[in-house]
Chains A and B, each alone.
Chain A
Amino acid sequence: MSEISTEPLVMPIANEADIVAARQRGRTMAIELGFAGCDGTLIATAISEVARNILLYAQRGEIILCCVELGGRRGLSIEARDSGPGIPDLRKALTDGYSTSRGLGLGLPGSRRLMDEFAIESEVGRGTNVTMTKWVR
Chain B
Amino acid sequence: MSSPQRPVAPHSYGSQRPPAAVPIGPVGAIGVDEMQLTDEEVARRMSWLEITADDIANLTSIRDVARGYAAEVIEDLYRHFLAFDETRAFFRDEQTLRRVKAMQTEYFLRLTEGNYDREYVRDRLKIGAIHQRIGLDVKWYLGAYNFYLRAVGSRLMRAFQDDPERGRACYFSLKKLVFFDIGLAIEIYLTTIRRQEEAIRELSTPVLQLRAGLLILPIIGVIDPTRARQLTEQLLRSIRANRAKVVVMDITGVPSVDSRVANHLVQTVEAARLMGATVIITGLSAEVAQALVLVGIDLNRIRTVGDLQGGIEEAERSLGYRVSRVEA
Residues of A within 8 A of B (CB): 1-4, 6-8, 32, 34, 37-38, 66-72, 74-75, 77, 119, 121, 131, 133
Contact = CB atoms under 8 A, between A and B. Distances in A.
Could you tell me the dominant secondary structure of chain B's interface residues?
A: loop
B7 A8 contact: yes
Given A3-B14, A6-B8, A131-B1, 6 more contacts: A1-B17, A4-B14, A6-B7, A6-B9, A66-B7, A70-B6
A4 B16 contact: yes
Contacts of B4: 70
17 contacts: A1-B15, A1-B17, A2-B15, A3-B15, A4-B13, A6-B8, A6-B9, A38-B233, A38-B236, A68-B7, A69-B5, A69-B6, A69-B8, A69-B12, A69-B40, A75-B5, A133-B5
A119 B37 CA distance: 27
Given A1-B15, A34-B17, A38-B233, A69 B38 contact: yes
Nearest to A70: B5
A37 B17 contact: no
Contacts of A38: 233, 236
Contacts of B7: 6-8, 66-68
B35 interface: yes
Contacts of A7: 7
B41 A1 contact: no
A119 B15 contact: no
Contacts of A68: 5-8
Contact of B1 (A8, A72, A121): A121
Contacts of A8: 7
A1 B17 CA distance: 9
Contacts of A4: 8, 13-16
Contacts of B23: none
A71 B42 CA distance: 10
A72 B6 contact: no
B16 to A, nearest CB: 5
A113 B7 CA distance: 24
Contacts of B35: 72
Interface in B3-53: 3-10, 12-17, 35, 37-38, 40-41
B82 to A, nearest CB: 35
A94 B14 CA distance: 38
A12 to B, nearest CB: 20
A75 B5 CA distance: 10
Nearest to B18: A34
A103 to B, nearest CB: 20
